[in-house]
A and B are shown apart, each in its own frame.
Chain A
Amino acid sequence: MTALISDTPTTASPASPLPAKGRRKRQGRFIWLAYVVLVSLAVVYIFPFLINLATSFKTEPDAASDPLSLVPATWSTAAYERLFLNSDFPLWFGNSVVVTIFVTCGRVFFCLLAGYALARIPFRGRAVIFAAIVAVMAVPGVVLLIPKFLVINQLGLYDSYAGMIIPLMADAAGVFIMKNFFESIPASVEEQARIDGAGTFRTFWSVVLPMSMPAVMTIVILSFQGSWNELSHFVISAQSPELTTITKGVAQLSSGALSAGTQYPLKLAAAAIMTIPVAIVFFIFQKKIMNSTAGALKE
Chain B
Amino acid sequence: MGETIHVSPSPHVRDSVNTQKIMAAVVIALLPASLAGIILFGFHALLVLILSVASAVLSEFVFEKITKRPSTLYDLSAVVTGLLIGLNMPPEIPLFIPVLGSVFGIIVVKQFFGGIGQNFMNPALGARCFLLISFSGQMTNFAVKGGILGRAAADAVSSATPLVTLKMGESYSLGSLFLGTVGGTIGETSALAILIGAAFLLVMHVIDLKIPLCYIGTFTVLVLITALIRGYGSPVYFTLCEVFAGGLMLGAWFMATDYATSPMTPNGQIVYGVALGVLTYLFRMVSKSPEGVSYAIILMNCLTPMIEQYTRPRAFGVPRPKKEAKHE
A and B together in one complex: no
